[in-house]
Amino acid sequence: MLTGPHLRVRVHKKTLSPSFVAVDKHRERAEALIDLYHRAVAESWTRKRIDDEVGGVIGDSVDHKLTKGLSKLIADNSDFGSDPPISPASLRERMFTAGSQNPSRKRASQVYEEVARELSLTPADLRRMLYSDRKEEHEIQSTKINDSEWLLHRYNVALVQATLLRCESLEVFLENPPSARLRQLFRYIRFHGLMSRCEPVDGGYLLTLDGPTSLLKLSTRYGMGLANWFPALLLWESPWRMDATIRWGKRGLRKSMTLDSTMGLQSHYRDTGVYVSRVEEWFEERFEALESGWRLEREAPPIPLGDEAIIVPTYRLEKDGRVAYFDIVGFWRKKWLKSRLKLLSQHGPSNLVIAVSSKMEGAKEGLSKGIGGVVSFKEVVPAKDVLERVEACAQLPG
C-alpha cells in the first residue's frame, strides 16, 4: 500500500485526480527497480542498503515519488528477515558492559575485536549483527515481482487505494450487472466489513459505501478495508462509474474524484470470487455440524426491498423444496442499520433471517414483522438459533 509521501495526484479546484502512469512510458524504470531487487536478494542487502540504492536510481529525477512508490510496492511483495545466531539485544548489552570502563574509541575497537574473537566472527560481521533486529537492517530474502507491466498496473491501482484512505463516501453506478458478479462484489464488501447500500436505478444499480473519514472510530482499519475492496470492483465486466468524496489536505477540504471502467485500471486480485469472513466460516462449521438436512448455499439471489434498495443475502437454504435466506449484517453505523431494518420490516421477504451484532441492540427495535427473524451475536453466530428461525419461516417457491 502506498502512503502519503508516495501519493501523486492532481488537484484542481474541487476535483482530485490520481496521476496514473503510462505503462509503455515507464517500463524501463520499473525494470531497473525489479533488477535492483533481484540483485539485492542475491547479495542479501538490508532495507537500508536497498533504500540507498533506490536513491541512486532516482538521481536528479524530479519524479522521485514515482520511483519510491514503485520501490515500496516491490518491497511490500518481498520477504525480509533477520535470524542472527545471537540475540542482538544481548549482544549490545555484552558490548556495553565490556566497554563501559574507561570508554574511548581505542577501547571500543578493542571490544569489537575481543568479542568477535570469542564468538568466532569478524569485527565486520559483529557490527552487522549488532543491530540486525531493527527493521532497516533486515535482509531481503526473496521477491515476488518479475513483471514490469504488472508492477505499473499495480501502481495505478495503489494510487487510488491510497486516496480512498481519505474517502468520506463514494457511489458506484453498476450498469446492467450480471447477478453472479453482483454477488461476488457483495462478498468482497462483507469480507472487508464495509457499510453499503445498493438500490436499483435506471440501467443498473447504485452502490453507496461509507468512507473512513465518516466514522468516529476504527477509521484506519475501515479505511484499509475500503482500499482493499477497490481492486474487486476492477474485476467487474460491465461498465461502471465511481464518484468519491475525498477529504484532502490538513484542513480536510472536500474534493471529488471520478473514475470509470474506461481508464484501463487492472486488478491484481485473482478472479476467484471466493472470500469468506471468519464469522461466516465459524457459522458454516457450526451449522453443518447440526446435520439438520438443510443445504447451505452461498449463491443467494438479489432481493429487492421495494423500489429503494436491494439485499444480497449471505446464504440460501433449502430442504424438501422449502427455501429460506440468511444474511449476516457486517459493520454498520447505527443510523444506516436502522434505515436498512426499516426497509426490511416494510418490504423484506418473510423467509429471510438476519444476524445482527449485539452491539446494535437499539437499532433492532420495531423489527418484529416483515422478515422471518433476527438473531443476535457477539463474535459467533449461534447456528441453533438460526436453524430454529429457518425451520419456522421457510417457504415453498412460487
CATH code for the domain of 181: 3.30.70
Q: Average the pLDDT over 123-143 and give the result.
A: 83
Q: Is the pLDDT of residue 300 over 90?
A: no
> Same domain for 347 and 293?
yes
Confidence class for position 120, pLDDT limits 50, 70, 90:
confident
Q: Are residues 260 and 304 in the same domain?
A: no
Confidence grade of residue 282 (pLDDT, cut at 50, 70, 90) = very high
Is pLDDT at 361 greater than 60 in this prediction?
no
- Both 123 and 192 in a single domain? no
For residues 226 and 327, state if they share a domain. Answer: no
- Is 146 within a domain? no
Banded pLDDT at 170 (limits 50, 70, 90): very high
User: Cα dist. 38→33, 141, 145 in Å?
Assistant: 9, 10, 9
Q: Are residues 388 and 285 in the same domain?
A: yes
Q: Are residues 302 and 255 in the same domain?
A: no
Split at pLDDT 50, 70, 90, the class of 369 is low
Are 229 and 284 within one domain?
no
Tell which of 223, 252, 269 closes a domain: 269
Residue closest to 98 by CA, chosen among 74, 121, 117 = 117
The predicted model gives 253-264 an average pLDDT of 96
- Residue 93 CA to residue 109 CA, distance in Å, equals 16
What pLDDT is stored for residue 103 in this prediction? 77
- Same domain assignment for residues 328 and 230: no
Residues 6 or more apart in contact with residue 78 via CB below 8 angstroms: 37, 41, 140, 141, 142, 143, 144, 145
Q: What is the pLDDT of residue 275?
A: 58
pLDDT the model gives residue 307: 67
| Percentage above 70 pLDDT, the chain | 91
Query: What residues make up the domain containing 241?
Result: 165-269
Check residue 360 and give its pLDDT. Answer: 61
Least confident residue range of 8-17, 140-149, 276-285, 382-391 = 276-285
pLDDT, mean of residues 210-232: 84
Summarize the confidence of residues 307-331 as an average pLDDT: 85
Residue by residue, DSSP assigns 41-64 as: HHHT-BHHHHHHHHHHHHTT-S-H
> Quick count: other Cβ atoms within 10 Å of Cβ 274?
9
Q: What is the pLDDT of residue 383?
A: 96
pLDDT at 174: 94
Is the pLDDT score of 365 beyond 60? Answer: no
Average pLDDT (190-195) is 83
Res 304: pLDDT: 80
For residue 392, name the pLDDT band (cuts at 50, 70, 90).
Answer: very high
Domain stops at, among 219, 247, 269: 269
Q: What is the grid cell recorded at 262?
A: 474506461
| Number of structural domains the chain divides into | 3
Is 80 exceeded by the pLDDT of residue 267? yes
Cα–Cα dist 363/356, whole Å? 9
Query: Which pLDDT belongs to residue 171?
Result: 97
Whole-number pLDDT of residue 47: 92
231 and 317 belong to one structural domain = no
Please give the grid coordinates belonging to residue 96. Answer: 556495553
Tell me if 19 is assigned to some domain. no
Whether 73 is covered by a domain: the verdict is no
Whether 261 and 308 map to the same domain: the answer is no
Range name among 51-65, 256-270, 310-324 with the lowest pLDDT average: 51-65
pLDDT tens profile 57-99: 876 566 889 999 999 999 999 999 877 777 778 888 888 877 7
pLDDT digits (tens, 9 = 90+) for 10-59: 999 999 999 999 999 999 999 999 999 999 999 989 999 999 999 888 76
Do 226 and 248 share a structural domain? yes
> Which whole number is the average pLDDT over 198-209?
88
Q: What is the CATH number of the domain that holds 336?
A: 3.40.1350
Residue 224 forms part of a structural domain:
yes
Instruction: Output 243 or 302, whichever has higher pLDDT.
Output: 243
